[in-house]
Amino acid sequence: MASCFVVHITNYFSLCAVKLYLDGDPNAWLGWFGVIIIAAVYTGLLFPFYYEMEEESLLIRFGCIRSRIPYNSIKEVVPTRNPISSPGLSLDRLRIDTGDTLGTNISPADKSSFLKYLAGQVNHLVLADGQLWPKEES
């Protein structure tokens, strides 16, 4: 939601700056100043953006925010297209269920390789049909 708000505000400033420029206002550059400031803040909140498999946890880095998910807290990993704001730039996401209400949605570029590697790190889950599920007790 916050990213949509930032995009709308940036678009508003851009349209105002263009209108001022077309109307011949010599101070039209002030509108562009607002666009640049908002774009810089948005970029700082979003980039760098990556996922890293550490020895004991999955590190999710998006902008100045770092989140670690311990492998032993992962209950399942399933595909989703949920549009809830999260550290995923695509709607083709994976939902990492750790037992909290929302879970974490991520969008690795190569989901199948990500899941295979994660399956090797998470011993209590099994990879089946592009998802990580809890192993069945026998």
**Quick one: pLDDT band at residue 6, thresholds 50, 70, 90?**
low
Q: What is the pLDDT of residue 1?
A: 45
Chain position carrying tokens 């774009």: 39
Q: Which of 110, 103, 120 is nearest to 67 (CA)?
A: 103
Q: Is 17 helix (H, G, I), strand (E, B) or coil?
A: helix
Question: Residue 15 pLDDT more than 50?
Answer: yes
**Given this model, what pLDDT does residue 87 score?**
66
In tens, the pLDDT along 48-95 reads: 888 999 999 999 998 888 899 999 999 999 999 887 766 666 888 999
- What digits encode the pLDDT tens for the residues 26-44? 776 776 777 788 778 877 7
In angstroms, the Cα distances linking 121 to 33, 57, 115, 130, 132 are 47, 9, 10, 16, 11
Give the model's pLDDT for residue 23: 80
Answer whether 75's CB lies under 8 Å from 134's CB.
yes
Amino acid sitting at position 26: P
Per-residue model confidence (pLDDT) at position 10: 67
The stretch 20-26 carries a mean pLDDT of 76
Kindly tell me the burial class for residue 61, based on how many C-beta atoms sit within 10 Å of its own C-beta (0-12, 13-18, 19 or more).
middle
pLDDT value, residue 88: 66
